[in-house]
Amino acid sequence: MKTKIGIIAFPMSHEIPLSNLVNLICEIMDEIYLVNGGVVFKKLKMERKIISFNITHRASYKTFMRIVNYIDTQLKFLRYVVEISKKTDCFIFFIGGEGLFIPIITLKLLRKNVILMPGGIITKGYSIKRDPLSKFLMVLVNINFCLADRLIIYSRGMIQEANLGKYQHKIIIAHEHSVDLTKFTVFKKFDERTKIVGYIGRLSEEKGVLNLIEAMPLVLKRIEDIHFVICGDGVLADGIKKIIKAKNLEAYVKLTGWISHEDVPRYLNEFRILVLPSFTEGLPNIMLEAMACGTPVLATSVGAIPDIIMESRTGFLLTSNNPKHIAERIVEILDKPEILEKVSISAYRYVKENFSYEKNFEAWQKILSELTGARMQSGIKLT
């Protein structure tokens, strides 16, 4: 008997986490029904196992139209979910899917297994952006947490941060992350790198990138031979350009715009530190990729980050993302090159030992065996 599973991801979910999850599950299950939109996958293993359904979501800045469009998108999902439910009893709602109340409650009425895998804390992100719909979204997410059979989150630390204590009985700790160590590796020795402080990610408010920009003049007062590289695009791009010009930082800051995933290792191998001053996170891929490249990470202690970053051992932690504190930590860290080099080596080893594809594969075999009620055969695959 074939094992089948549905994976539901809200339109505009990021390619890398979703492709990681799909590739992992492809190795274990016989068929995957993937309902998604807005992501163009460059490569997926075993595409013959994947039956895809694409959803489009219309964005709007007007509150009323956003609500209308959100309901419309949920109804689009509902159509495919009902169709897939005739073929499988198990569904994973991935990043962004935790707000899809209409499909989720329908599946529960159909007595199907619903697993939520939210990644980060979506409601916190909307609150930080002062989104007028944040309270509405929180209500939907909390209802869906109650309805779900299981919650898969990245770390135990997120239970308290996301107020998930009452769901302890149905929480599974797992992730879809694995790092390709053939691409993300050290090819520029750490002691050959100049004082470049980097950021790679979305240019959006919840990522704390504005705080990093505000910290730059404070760092430059203490260290003159330093440069900053900001890689990424987003709603704050134009505002960041204006701030850099207003503060006369053009000679010290390079804005690359969006870069392809293939170019990320090259940039990481130039950085002496990667700074991630986020207000909220799940388990950022870029942090693991930086560690694999021997690039020490300075990040806020949110989401699963403090489970991976051990202060002055596998990286460095920010106690807040206040610009003054960011600046003080950058200066402090760069003043200790011997510790930086040790962290560079330890970070690489940590990722190599803990985020290999093989380890992830074994963990997901066990999870899917429990969630789908399927049996293991030869310790390799669910059948």
The DSSP string of 4-71 is EEEEE--TT--HHHHHHHHHHHHHH-SEEEEEE-S---S--TTGGGEEEEE------SSHHHHHHHHH
Domain assignment present for residue 55? The answer is yes
For 182-208, how does the pLDDT look when each residue is reduced to its tens digit (9 = 90+)?
A: 999 999 999 999 999 999 999 999 999
Cα(307)–Cα(157) distance, integer angstroms? 7
- Residues 138, 240, single domain; the answer is no
Residues 6+ apart with CB under 8 A from 146: none
Query: What local confidence, expressed as pLDDT, does residue 194 receive?
Result: 96
Residue 381: inside a domain, yes or no? Answer: no
Range of the domain at 80: 4-178+356-376
Question: What span, in angstroms and rounded, lies between the C-alpha atoms of 123 and 270?
Answer: 35
Closest residue by Cα to residue 223 from 316, 318, 336: 336
Co-location of 67 and 106 in the same domain = yes
- Residue 258 within a domain: yes
What 3-state class would DSSP assign to 378? coil
**Is residue 12 over pLDDT 70?**
no
Domains identified in the chain, total number: 2
Q: Has residue 383 been placed in a domain? A: no
Q: From start to end of 99-226, where are the E strands?
A: 113-116, 150-153, 171-173, 196-200
State how far the alpha carbon of 39 is from the alpha carbons of 19, 57, 123, 206, 334, in Å: 9, 12, 22, 21, 38
Q: What is the pTM of this model?
A: 0.85
Q: Are residues 341 and 225 in the same domain?
A: yes
Share of the chain above pLDDT 90, in %: 63
- Minimal CA–CA distance to 323: which of 210, 246, 222, 245? 210
DSSP 250-276: TTTEEEEES--GGGHHHHHTT-SEEEE
* Helix or strand (DSSP H, E) at 91: strand 90-93
Same domain, 219 and 367: no
Residue 18 has pLDDT above 90, yes or no: no
Which two structure tokens, joined as six digits, stand for 37? 């939109």
Termini Cα distance of the chain: 7
C-alpha triplet 50, 52, 58: angle, nearest 5°: 150
CA distance 108 to 382: 24
If asked whether residues 265 and 156 sit together in one domain, one would say no
pLDDT digits (tens, 9 = 90+) for 340-375: 999 999 999 999 988 877 878 888 888 888 877 644
Tell me if 382 is assigned to some domain: no
Instruction: Confirm whether 184 is domain-assigned.
Output: no
Residues 38 and 127 in one domain: yes
Looking at the fold, whether 370 and 332 belong to one and the same domain comes out as: no
307 and 246 in a single domain? The answer is yes
Rounded distance between C-alpha atoms, residue 6 and residue 92, angstroms: 6
**Pair (308, 297) in one structural domain:** yes
- Say if residue 19 is in the same domain as residue 148: yes
Q: What is the DSSP string of 177-213?
A: ----TTTSS--S-GGG--SEEEEES--SGGGTHHHHH
DSSP one-letter code for 164: -
Same-domain status, 133 and 66: yes
Instruction: For residue 199, tell me if it sits in a domain.
Output: yes
Q: pLDDT at residue 122 above 80? A: no
Residue 44: pLDDT over 80? no
Q: What is the mean pLDDT of residues 107-136?
A: 81
Q: What is the CATH number of the domain that holds 136?
A: 3.40.50.2000
pLDDT(87) > 90: yes
Q: Is residue 350 part of a domain?
A: yes
User: In whole angstroms, what is the distance from residue 56 CA to residue 11 CA?
Assistant: 7
Same domain, 125 and 163: yes
